[in-house]
Amino acid sequence: MTSTPPLASRIVEGPSGPVTVRLSHPVEDDGDYYCLVEITGQGSRDVHLKGYGVDELQALESAMTIIRANLDNLD
């Protein structure tokens, strides 16, 4: 994640131990927006993705969908 503080973060208990979720503030990129998603603590399955949108709110919604899908599939 960038050097700025995340918009939100949480530590959840996964099946193999703690999992850290971080969500960045929306960032403008050529007229669109993205939010960085970082989910760590899963070893080789750590996630570093971006949720994209046409505006800041859609980028946040996209990022939250990524987070939910990854946390629902922890094993």
Q: Cα-flanking dihedrals φ and ψ of residue 53, to 5°?
A: -165, 165
b/e sequence 65-74, b meaning 16+ C-beta within 10 Å: ebbeebeeee
| pLDDT given for residue 4 in this prediction | 74
Q: Which domain holds residue 32?
A: 8-72
pTM exceeds cut of 0.85: yes
31 within a domain of the structure (yes/no): yes
Q: Does some domain include residue 64?
A: yes
In a domain, 2, yes or no: no
Looking at the structure of the chain, the number of domains it has is: 1
Q: Summarize pLDDT for 23-71 with one digit per residue, the tens.
A: 999 999 999 999 999 999 977 689 999 999 999 999 999 999 999 999 9
What value does the CA radius of gyration of the chain take, rounded to a whole number of Å? 12
User: What integer pLDDT is reported at residue 24 of this predicted model?
Assistant: 97
Q: Is residue 14 situated within a structural domain?
A: yes
Task: For residue 1, tell me if it sits in a domain.
Answer: no
